[in-house]
Chain A
Amino acid sequence: MRLTKISAMAFAALIAGAGVATADESAELSIEGKTIPTRAEAPAYLENIDEVISGWVYRSDETQTLQADDFDNPAFVFVDTGADLFAEADGSAGKSCKDCHENVEDFAGLTTTLPRVNEAGELETLTDLVNECRTERMGAEPWKYSGTQMTAVTALIGLQSRGMPVNVAVDGPAAPFWEKGKELYYTRVGQLDLACANCHEDNYGNMIRADRLSQGQINGFPTYRLKNAKLNSVHGRFKGCMTNVRATPYKEGSDEFEALELYVASRGNGLAIETPSVRN
């Protein structure tokens, strides 16, 4: 056997080397040989856009390629950690997630419907569900909203729904939360006086300094960002955006962000789940 080529590199070096190539908007996303649609017809309640588009479309070729292979996708290091945490007993009950949820595959389809309104009339996200299990059934401490453990486990659970279309409920008991989220989406905030819609509805596809604006879809969350080399939660991203427009962000897990998460998720109804996605 002869060694033909050696290329050794650390992930960080790989990332630093990635250029700012213009994204190919007609590219098709194929993960492990399975094609995942990145565009869908906009739901009827979106008055100002006709097509919902995944943020993947606007990334550079190199970033797009990273998501096509589960080995190259750096998020899978965290998904593996998530699988370990899933099987690890914790808390006074001495139970792990796996003791009740035998197969993590059974969660297929769950994230397509989240956030949702529960029987008590509260809006719940995947993070709420995980922490509810931890505090009430495992007798363990809740995890930090955007902590490594939480994002790892939510990425593992989200992965089971990959390729399935987002389908959150916007009517019935969800309607008041959805309306609240919509109001937040269109309300200008901060010193820059910008609403979510000013960038992600009016200007998607255009440049914002050296980067391209996407529609701000959350179908790929938790998402691995090259800028901080970790998984990022939806609320963490909301916070980042609010800080960027010089506003005081709401707290992660707050009612405001949960309502906004529902509304933003509903803007992607029909789009396929990409968890865990890779973005810059």
Chain B
Amino acid sequence: MAKGVKPRVKVPKSASAGDSITIKTLISHKMESGQRKDSDGKIIPRSIINRFTCDFNGENVIDVTIEPAVSTNPYFQFDAKVPEAGEFKFTWYDDDGSVYEDTKAITVE
């Protein structure tokens, strides 16, 4: 597991049914591209988050493939419609096989 990886998510606590809400996510990660060399001229191995997904009550909302050009601490912001109360599940997949998860519940007024 890469060092200092910490997911952060911001989802409103409640929304009206059918409302579009803004979700912000950020994961702290060094996102080493695999293109850089160290002081000895050796290539620093690639270590990035390569996929990010968000599901709502088991249904997929967004599925992103992340490439090495994305910088440190990848930040995703997107809008989603909330038809019912439920739980957003966020998943980040690391190159080294680690999976980072976070969930946020939302109620419908």
A residues whose Cβ falls under 8 Å from a Cβ of B: 1-14, 71-72, 74, 76-77, 80-81, 84, 229
Given the interface pairs A71-B10, A77-B28, the reply to whether A4 lies near B80 with Cβ below 8 Å is yes
The reply to whether the CB of B34 lies closer than 8 angstroms to some CB of chain A is: no
The reply to whether the CB of B108 lies closer than 8 angstroms to some CB of chain A is: no
The 21 listed contacts between A and B (C-beta, < 8 Å) are A1-B56, A1-B59, A3-B61, A3-B78, A4-B20, A8-B64, A8-B76, A8-B77, A9-B75, A9-B77, A11-B71, A11-B72, A11-B73, A11-B75, A71-B8, A77-B6, A77-B8, A77-B26, A77-B28, A80-B8, A81-B6
Pair B73/A3 contact, Cβ less than 8 Å: no
B4 / chain A contacts, CB cutoff of 8 Å: 81
4 closest A-B pairs by beta carbon, nearest first, are: A10-B71, A12-B71, A71-B10, A4-B79
B76 / chain A contacts, CB cutoff of 8 Å: 7-9
Pair B77/A7 contact, Cβ less than 8 Å: yes
Given the interface pairs A71-B26, A80-B6, A80-B28, the reply to whether A3 lies near B62 with Cβ below 8 Å is yes
Pair B81/A4 contact, Cβ less than 8 Å: yes
User: Residue-by-residue, is B40-78 near A (CB-CB < 8 Å gives 1, otherwise 0)?
Assistant: 000000000000000010010110100000111111111
Considering the chains assembled together, what is the distance between the CA atoms of A1 and B61 in angstroms?
8
B residues whose Cβ falls under 8 Å from a Cβ of A: 4, 6, 8, 10, 20, 24, 26, 28, 31, 56, 59, 61-62, 64, 70-83
Min Cβ gap B35→A in Å is 15
Considering the chains assembled together, what is the distance between the CA atoms of A144 and B72 in angstroms?
23
A77 / chain B contacts, CB cutoff of 8 Å: 6, 8, 26, 28, 73
Pair B61/A5 contact, Cβ less than 8 Å: no
Considering the chains assembled together, what is the distance between the CA atoms of A218 and B76 in angstroms?
32
Q: Which residue of B lies closest to A2 (CB)?
A: B81
A76 / chain B contacts, CB cutoff of 8 Å: 8
Pair A5/B79 contact, Cβ less than 8 Å: yes
Pair B73/A10 contact, Cβ less than 8 Å: yes
Considering the chains assembled together, what is the distance between the CA atoms of A76 and B8 in angstroms?
10
Considering the chains assembled together, what is the distance between the CA atoms of A12 and B6 in angstroms?
18
Considering the chains assembled together, what is the distance between the CA atoms of A76 and B74 in angstroms?
14
Cβ 8 A contact of A6, one of B31, B62, B73: B62
Min Cβ gap A188→B in Å is 39
A12 / chain B contacts, CB cutoff of 8 Å: 71-72
Given the interface pairs A14-B75, A77-B73, the reply to whether A3 lies near B8 with Cβ below 8 Å is no
Pair B79/A10 contact, Cβ less than 8 Å: no
B72 / chain A contacts, CB cutoff of 8 Å: 10-12, 229
Considering the chains assembled together, what is the distance between the CA atoms of A76 and B24 in angstroms?
14
Considering the chains assembled together, what is the distance between the CA atoms of A10 and B62 in angstroms?
17
